[in-house]
A and B are shown apart, each in its own frame.
Chain A
């Protein structure tokens, strides 16, 4: 006898969590299956809706305005502007992200030294807005090669930001090894653990503030790489800010990204609060269907095949990175249900010659009907009770458009809501 739910969501990233949350809020009995760590650990933690048009115009000030102009294959066209707005309202309701006071995009500094348009940003990044004209001191750690503060500051100036940016490198107090992990810094700051400075033991927050203080030259805000705590980031930031009498912000970073992981935690908590169930750590490996209707899926657990069933299914296993879409030398495929993934036959037609060219592989994914149900090569519905959301969807290039989080939240919300309504 399979474990039963009304809505079964496969995938624990932004789209899966948004689906599960939306379905649970509709009152459905929801179960979310996730296998590996989600790609949120790779993500900056910023939530973009749309930063550039399909043709590369931008940065866009109003993402909603540009949505109706997107190609019809784009997932945003399926859920519509209102769908995006409803989804973002749900997101705003369960997170403490900023940016919801306006439709206008924000510009935030990146650890690569550029600025990028985004619709929502964590509170920790708020004081870093690039449209704010207060001068910035960026502080990097000499041993942290992902964030070279003087280089980032110089690059920001080259990007034309309306403030002066200066960068300094300091050593993190205490005697951490040269290749300490970001979680090591975060933990020390979370717990305000003691570190040795000049022969005496000092709390890590005070010690860090003391190390920054001599470098301040009247700047009103100080930016650090996103290492300022995992469990208590607000308290860490507040302590540093109070000690230095400045606003402190984090610059989002690459993997492992604490803001991405914090967002994941917040959404898991929200799904939990809404009554959803989780089953993590085991892959979905197969399914059974009859007459185009999925009966159950099978997860592999310690070598056993365990059936799990739902009335409705949401597939949110991600794109090429999350392995919701896979490929070999012969072609591109969706590994669980073998849903159709359109792609050129010749794999030399999957990419562009320029590193930032128009890459077809970036748009690999499932085509769907208006209810986000995957379609076969002949445009019929693959399964009447399967919907897809997030990175697994085709027809858009989230990296070029800066639309990844928005599409995941919007399609996740729509798929979860539809699935719940259908199941009831």
Chain B
């Protein structure tokens, strides 16, 4: 073989990033293309659950078995992205004993460690559980940060020579003689890291093989080559609470249903979810009843949720797929298994495979299988190493060190920074200058922001997903201008301003679904701080020129307006 085959992977979610890392580690030449930020689609819109498999232990045992296997792998290779919270399947009096038993035996059959805990024990673990629950099953569920995980996969792929292009939309496939031989790409800001205000351009990228890992968008890519991929996008809402009412994943122990899970995630809890088939993965209604349903139904498990503060809600679309002959009516019946569609076998179109369905927890396994498949196309015999080699940040991450003294950080901030950075903590936090906290809600310091900027260019949303800055209680009210200032210096003022506007708008988007009570009060404060104090809503830099001379030029009394020594109040105030 003269040179390594060039593979283009379309889709920068967990699956695409996982495939890219895997192929790059096997020595292939890979380019990853993502239309938005990494995690822009489904991955960035999940509840952050690291499945134990318990959820599928009755309905879909194949998936359940895969989940527990990958759960163990991710604890190893992505330790800085995982918090092993443990999980409970909680039975209320109105839920059936029969299902409870099925769940328990299902877990055993799938090799998922599961134990029955009494009401008293469950309420000892989670004191805010409803007083009238019956009992629960404990399982090794956990929480995982999808942003950090995907970024780490992309970084690892890059270290192995891959090219990562975000904000680069595939606009067409190049098909010659029934073979996909390349893609046409529209870069929103030029190739490489995204820089606001930089002119983008189109590029044709020739490839030996294309992997379509675009999930709910897979049909769009299929259309470009005239093949039919029937993904059934299904939307689900997730509502974020401002604090952790529970520290364990709480599942409702009953068959499929809406609003049956609470995932503690960093400083928040995420309530989920609904399951509603939609036509278009990018344009679907986000409705009030869905948010209300989360709060009302889940407060049956944790009553204090009824009056707790929510900070925003977001919706994701699952890329559900079922083979054409099954024909389920209800999206909750569709398997969570994944499918590899080799378009050569299926549609007589060479050079491309699509991967559809699947779950976040098994992203690595999907990556392994599709990488095996790609390697087979070229007769390459290279082993998958992604289950054994830790991701950047997770190597040798055995002890959480106390960085308070070493980096002059207050202890909770130091601890959180180190948790986020894992083994990269030294590299990132050792800076020469002062390292103040930029985002107070999430305890993110300047060093982390600067590190994220060095990875992602001027895109503050990309900085956000790497650091969690602007994702806390105030939803950016107090830190978006600070984050923009961190861009300035390396980037021009106009670039920083565009990035700032974009982040403000993005943060507003999800808060809209939490606008009552304290969060409405917060929204008004944020609005006042940006509009009144800063006048950002009528920023003259974005508008018509201002006739400065028409305004007050200062008092004309002796000493002028600018003197610091004149009492203009008849001497009532002393000059100190």
Q: Quick check: A61 and B493 within 8 Å, CB to CB?
A: no
Q: Quick check: B437 and A179 within 8 Å, CB to CB?
A: yes
Q: Quick check: B533 and A98 within 8 Å, CB to CB?
A: no
Chain B residue at minimal CB-CB distance from A399: B531
Q: A417 an interface residue at 8 Å Cβ cutoff?
A: no
Query: Could you mark each residue 390-401 of chain A with 1 if its beta carbon is under 8 Å from any beta carbon of chain B, else 0?
Result: 000000001110
Binds B, one of A68-76, A128-136, A211-219, A294-302: A128-136
Chain B residue at minimal CB-CB distance from A148: B485
Q: B93 an interface residue at 8 Å Cβ cutoff?
A: no
Query: Could you mark each residue 500-543 of chain B with 1 if its beta carbon is under 8 Å from any beta carbon of chain A, else 0?
Result: 00001101100010011100110111011111111111111100
- A178-B408 CB under 8 A given contacts A96-B573, A114-B534: yes
Q: A44 an interface residue at 8 Å Cβ cutoff?
A: yes
Q: How far is the CB of B477 from chain A (nearest CB, A)?
A: 9
- A178-B576 CB under 8 A given contacts A126-B561, A162-B549, A347-B515: no
Q: Is the interface on chain A under 10, 10 to 19, 20 to 34, or 35 or more residues?
A: 35 or more
Of A42, A58, A171, A236, the residue contacting B525 (CB under 8 A) is A42
Q: A116 an interface residue at 8 Å Cβ cutoff?
A: yes
Q: A177 an interface residue at 8 Å Cβ cutoff?
A: yes
- A321-B512 CB under 8 A given contacts A99-B552, A110-B535: no
- A160-B546 CB under 8 A given contacts A105-B552, A116-B535, A320-B520: yes
Chain B residue at minimal CB-CB distance from A110: B534
- A402-B532 CB under 8 A given contacts A179-B437, A320-B524, A362-B527: yes
Complex Cα distance, B509 from A355, in Å, reads 8
Q: For residue A249, which residues in chain B have a CB less than 8 angstroms away from its CB?
A: 562
Complex Cα distance, B532 from A402, in Å, reads 6
Q: A102 an interface residue at 8 Å Cβ cutoff?
A: yes
Q: How far is the CB of A260 from chain B (nearest CB, A)?
A: 10
Q: Quick check: A104 and B573 within 8 Å, CB to CB?
A: no
Binds A, one of B52-60, B123-131, B416-424, B564-572: B564-572
Q: For residue B523, which residues in chain A have a CB less than 8 angstroms away from its CB?
A: 320, 351, 361
Q: CB within 8 Å of B: which of A159-212?
A: 159-162, 171, 177-179
Binds B, one of A13-21, A29-37, A137-145, A376-384: A137-145
Chain B residue at minimal CB-CB distance from A151: B488
Q: Quick check: B551 and A107 within 8 Å, CB to CB?
A: yes
Binds A, one of B229-237, B389-397, B428-436: B428-436
Q: Quick check: A323 and B521 within 8 Å, CB to CB?
A: yes
Q: B410 an interface residue at 8 Å Cβ cutoff?
A: yes
Complex Cα distance, B214 from A120, in Å, reads 56
Q: Quick check: B438 and A145 within 8 Å, CB to CB?
A: yes
Complex Cα distance, B563 from A249, in Å, reads 10
Q: A43 an interface residue at 8 Å Cβ cutoff?
A: yes
Chain B residue at minimal CB-CB distance from A404: B532
Q: Quick check: A131 and B529 within 8 Å, CB to CB?
A: no
Q: Quick check: A43 and B533 within 8 Å, CB to CB?
A: yes
Q: For residue B409, which residues in chain A have a CB less than 8 angstroms away from its CB?
A: 178
Q: How far is the CB of B495 from chain A (nearest CB, A)?
A: 11
Q: A238 an interface residue at 8 Å Cβ cutoff?
A: yes
Of B505, B515, B540, B562, the residue contacting A355 (CB under 8 A) is B505
Complex Cα distance, B521 from A102, in Å, reads 35
Of A155, A160, A234, the residue contacting B576 (CB under 8 A) is A234
Binds B, one of A77-85, A280-288, A308-316, A324-332: A324-332
Complex Cα distance, B493 from A68, in Å, reads 39
Q: Quick check: A327 and B517 within 8 Å, CB to CB?
A: yes
- A112-B481 CB under 8 A given contacts A132-B554, A237-B564: yes
Of B446, B497, B516, B541, the residue contacting A329 (CB under 8 A) is B516
Q: Quick check: A107 and B531 within 8 Å, CB to CB?
A: no
Q: For residue A221, which residues in chain B have a CB less than 8 angstroms away from its CB?
A: 562
Q: Quick check: A178 and B568 within 8 Å, CB to CB?
A: no
10 contacts between A and B (CB under 8 A): A61-B551, A130-B551, A131-B552, A142-B433, A145-B485, A151-B484, A237-B564, A320-B521, A328-B516, A402-B535
With A131-B550, A355-B530 known, 7 other A-B pairs at CB within 8 A are A48-B532, A98-B555, A114-B541, A132-B562, A143-B436, A351-B523, A361-B520
Interface residues of A (CB under 8 A from B): 42-44, 48, 51-52, 56, 58-59, 61, 95-96, 98-99, 101-102, 104-107, 110-117, 123, 126-127, 129-132, 142-146, 148, 150-151, 154-155, 157-162, 171, 177-179, 221, 232-238, 241, 247-249, 252-255, 319-321, 323, 326-329, 346-348, 350-351, 353-356, 359, 361-362, 398-400, 402, 404
